[in-house]
Structure 1
Amino acid sequence: MDKKKYIDVLTEQASKHSRPQELALSDFCDYLIEFFSIEAFKAGTVEYSQHVLSCTRKNPDFAGLTFQWLDDVATAMERGEWLDVFGILYEEMYLSRGKASKTGQFFTPQSISDLMAQISTLGAGDHGKVNDCAAGSGRLLLAHYIEKSKLDHSAGRRIGYVAQDSDPIACKMCALNLMAHGMYGRVECRDTLRMTEPSVVYFINEVKYPFNTPYYSVRTVLAKNQK
């Protein structure tokens, strides 16, 4: 992963659109959620291709970064690893020390995430659900999925992943991370301790399951529309 390339594009986009620097990553997440919206699949493959072309024309720089991101994740997975591009960028560009202290946001290092995934999968079955109630960018779930899928690439597909977090941008990052790694599940933006109603739920990769396809998707359901 060329971190500088991501930061340069995001910084340039913030400057071009007169947006605060700290919102650049959020803007990219919003672009990706639109790019991979499941709504684009409903009309058929031709219309979906037109949707992709429209998004590319709308913001060529973000489109280029999108394909770079997918390629970086795919490269990591080929090595039997996971890659949290958004968490890395979030800590670099978005998460000040003051905000981290105030919100309690301290992202779990990759080595600890991998260790916890190894422990949690010992003797566990290859189906069911895995939940993280304070998911952040989804690192623990990514680590679990890769740990399950290293030897049997279909094993992780038999598991549904559920994530919750109270920070809207963390939920977006988590949803996109799960999507790019080919996982299935949902991300709920909610205060898990208070068990508030989710303000938004992201349903991940419904177009890939139960059949394996080359497509990725996010379905966004706002609180008033939840089913």
Structure 2
Amino acid sequence: MVSRFLVLDASPAGDAARGLAACLEQHDRALNLVSQCEEAGKQAAEGINLLAARALDQAGWQDSAATTAPDCVAVVIGPGSFTGLRASCAVAAGYALGVGAELVGVSRAEALAPALDAELARHEGLAGWLLVTSARRGRVFVEDNQGGLRAISVADWQPPPGRWLVAGDAAEALAFDEPVRSTAGAPDPEQIARAALRRLAGELPPRQALPLYVDPPEAKLPADGLRAAPV
């Protein structure tokens, strides 16, 4: 049974970029935060391994012994920063392999869904919820309560019909007709860990702990092909 979590999140992009590493313990059904290290900026997201090491050290979990090491590594797989997702998923996979822990990936919407569903239930007449998060170059990611995910240019945005509960770190970037604004932004460590537990229990469909990319990669093969291998 999973009882100790290492949570990693380097998904926020653009001006919202940050890195988060946290250790949590589960007792019965309660999750207790043991340590948390968080820093803003792209460098913090790319250096998520340093935040993870600090969080583990603060929790006293640096030893790889079964009595102290996490038995689950939960990582946010996106959508979000291309580099941040690669860094955090790689660190999560390496650490989980090293200590023999479960490796679980969850999306930002999966982590926030229970809170957003509860908030949605408190309002009548809303079409659903939308989670709007920063992308890059005047674009945002939009996830909805039906599992939809797309990247949208702010300049080309057309609000869907109806009234919506709108959340996320880039919620103010999009115009809506009479929206209900949620204070939910990025998921906290407990929300990420609980989403991992739901995935382990089969309440969420299987998903690999790999970056959830929405945009196609910018890097392309040269028109003339790759260079020949050195002789």
Fold match (TM-score > 0.5): no
Mark the structure with the bigger radius of gyration.
Answer: 2
The TM tier, using the shorter chain, reads: under 0.3
TM-score (norm 2): 0.27
Q: Which structure exhibits the higher relative contact order, with contacts defined as CA atoms closer than 8 Å and separated by 6 or more residues?
A: 2
TM-score (norm 1): 0.27
